Amino acid sequence: MSPTPTPRLNPAVMEPLSAALPRHWEAQPDQAALQQAIAQVLAAIDRNLEHFGTQFPAPSSVNSVYPAIGNIEWTNGFWTGMLWLAYEVSGAARYREAAEAHVRSFHERQAQRINTNHHDLGFLYSLSCIAAHKLTGSELAAEAAMGAARLLLERYMERAGIIQAWGDLNDPEQAGRMIIDCNLNLPLLYWAAQHSGERAFADAANRHIEAAARHIVRADGSTFHTFFFDPATGQPRHGKTHQGYADDSCWSRGQAWGISGFPLVYRHNGDARLLELSKVVANYFLNRLPEDGIAYWDLIFTSGPEQRDSSAAAIAACGLLELSRQLPAADPLRGAYRHAAAGMVQELSGRYLIAGGAPGSGLLRHAVYHKPQGMGVDECCIWGDYFYFEALVRLTHSGGDWQPYW
Ligand code: GLY
């Protein structure tokens, strides 16, 4: 008897990869150019390490310079993640010491529940404490990451099988709302399952990614930014944007969170259907890039004066590299995804990078945080800087042997 075929997670149609990649994008990135780009990033980190001291860069810049903030935002982990990457590539103790001071701050943050009532705990704790645990074996970091994972698990709604994005679980405005960005927060749960032996973390992550696959990805391979379920019955209700142009448009960064999150979850749960879905989402994204290959802030725009989102490009590049690494060697799109990722990074290094900026300056110009609310529009965003650095590190490990913090 032949085995029952596994049902597809989502019947979305995969567009063929139709867009010609910009002609000047080289398939094989020049390793010397990558090393030079990493040296520029390290120089910027050195300037900012002195400038921020024990504080952190704000989520987005003002005139390309990040205001200093305490450990209170959803974005603090990106700066710590950059310090860990800097430590990995250089071995310099100053980065490790600064990152270890952050770990102590992150430990306190979860213990005191300082602005932890949201799904972004994975962004915060994967790049700070899980990175610390992986690189140094720190028990304090592991304890903090476990605490954060328990807070994230508190947001799991059993009926709908999702982690609620924002707000109190009883808040009528937010109850039952999931978000594509949360794909990147699930690795914290898988890590906690493995570290503690408690299956509940992985079970919740598995149900959440399945809900994202079935309901956030639309039939044409685009994505909703957020999706509501009835919290009482668990029935799916409707999609809604938060940071995109319209409910039925496709917010570029959300699509990039999809490209990267599905293969990162595959790394943990081995469900190959997530790789297929990442390809669907990736092709939709790549087919809607303007001439220089750096997406507008919403994929409804493919030309004209609207702002780009360089941070979406940096996230997508890391996602395409992860996807390419996880696909079987015979997959015909494997090389194209790596080529596209390398091209985007070349473009970011060549035309979007702020070299030799002021203290506090960001790295990647022309990102957008929240266009509908007018926040961080055409500014630097700290996650764009992080993912640009991660993409450079990934590209310098052409054998794919760099171990993500996710
Ligand atoms: N996760 C929030 C954002 O991408 O702006």
Q: Each residue of 40-91: pLDDT tens digit?
A: 999 999 999 999 999 999 999 999 999 999 999 999 999 999 999 999 999 9
CA within 13 Å, CB half, 113: 6
CA within 13 Å, CB half, 215: 24
Contact 363, 354 (CB under 8 A): yes
Distances from the Cα of 88 to the Cα of 72, 93, 105, 308, 404, angstroms: 26, 10, 21, 30, 11
Is 309 a pocket residue for ligand 1 (Cβ < 6 Å)?
A: no
Per-residue pLDDT tens digits for 196-211: 999 999 999 999 999 9
Contact 173, 225 (CB under 8 A): no
The rounded Å distance from CA 382 to ligand 1 centre is 11
Per-residue pLDDT tens digits for 272-305: 999 999 999 999 999 999 999 999 999 999 999 9
Q: How far apart are alpha carbons 168 and 113 in whole angstroms?
A: 13
| Set 181, 271, 309, 378: catalytic member | 181
- Report which residue type is found at 240: K
Contact 313, 294 (CB under 8 A): yes
Is 181 a pocket residue for ligand 1 (Cβ < 6 Å)?
A: yes
3-state SS of 177-195 is: EEEHHHHHHHHHHHHHHHH
What is the domain partition of the chain in residue ranges?
31-396
Q: 31-396: which CATH topology? A: Glycosyltransferase (1.50.10)
The protein residue with its alpha carbon nearest to ligand 1, atom 2, reads 181
The rounded Å distance from CA 312 to ligand 1 centre is 10
Is 338 a pocket residue for ligand 1 (Cβ < 6 Å)?
A: no
Q: Which two tokens stand for residue 108?
A: 């306190």
Is 242 a pocket residue for ligand 1 (Cβ < 6 Å)?
A: no
Sequence-ordered alpha helix ranges (H) in 126-198: 131-136, 139-153, 186-196
230 included as an active-site residue: no
Q: Give me the mean pLDDT over the 163-177 stretch.
A: 95
